[in-house]
Amino acid sequence: MLTPSRTAAETRRNPGRMHRLQRVLAIGVAAAALAGCATPQRPVVYRAPPPQPPVTEVVAYPQGKKSDREIRQDRYECYLWAVRASGYDPARMRPTAAPAAPRVLPDPPAGHDTAAGAIAGAVVGAAVSSPHHVGQGAAIGAAVGAVAGAASDAAREERAQRIEDAYAERAARADYGNWGKAEAYRRALSACLEGRGYAVR
């Protein structure tokens, strides 16, 4: 059995061993502290731009002689007919900008589990190692704990990214109204104007 006086005597006989132990322990603690400071960068994700509002404008040229009053009257009557036929009124259904997708951040922030894992690993490594290899056990435990914590941080970051992507997709789908009705309105307006002798583009 080792007594305190015997341990002190061994330390005096082998001072290099104690310095190595302190150095390994200091390196392990420094590595654990630095591992907690490292935060992985979020990958840049390309998102398609939000869809443009539906085109409901129709350019119509009279093919015969028509007065300005006749052109306005034809345009208005065709507008009313297209609204009734399609159920879409572009004057009332103005597009609104799609809501911006919120930024989702992991909680706790990235690097938290890496630091916690390194500290816990150092404590466990020092506790389970032999008394002669406490520093080495702490360093190995800190490294293993930091790797496990980094994996946990990466999983949390990936989960936050998936949630953010789902919000972005939902915001992109919250488009400018009913696209099908807008297209039906445009077709109906074009058909009406063509029937009244206009060239439609």
Specify the pLDDT at position 74. Answer: 94
Q: Which of 1-5, 82-86, 180-184 has the highest mean predicted lDDT (pLDDT)?
A: 82-86
Q: What percentage of the chain has pLDDT greater than the value 70?
A: 66
Task: Supply 37's token pair.
Answer: 């400071």
112-128 vs 134-173: helix axis angle to the nearest 10? 160
Task: Supply 38's token pair.
Answer: 């490292």
Which is it for the CA torsion 126, 127, 131, 132, positive or negative? negative
Which position has the token pair 């015997």? 6
Per-residue pLDDT tens digits for 164-197: 888 877 776 655 556 778 889 999 999 999 999 9
Q: Are 123 and 9 in contact (CB under 8 A)?
A: no
Per-residue pLDDT tens digits for 38-49: 555 656 656 656
Q: Is the pLDDT of residue 100 over 90?
A: no
**Cα radius of gyration (the chain):** 36
pTM, to two decimals:
0.49
Spell out the residues 6+ positions from residue 104 whose beta carbon is closer than 8 angstroms to its own.
160, 161, 163, 164, 167
Q: Which of 26-35, 67-76, 117-126, 156-165 has the highest mean predicted lDDT (pLDDT)?
A: 67-76
DSSP secondary structure string, 8-33?
HHHHHH-HHHHHHHHHHHHHHHHHHH
Burial group, residue 147, by CB count within 10 angstroms (0-12, 13-18, 19+): middle
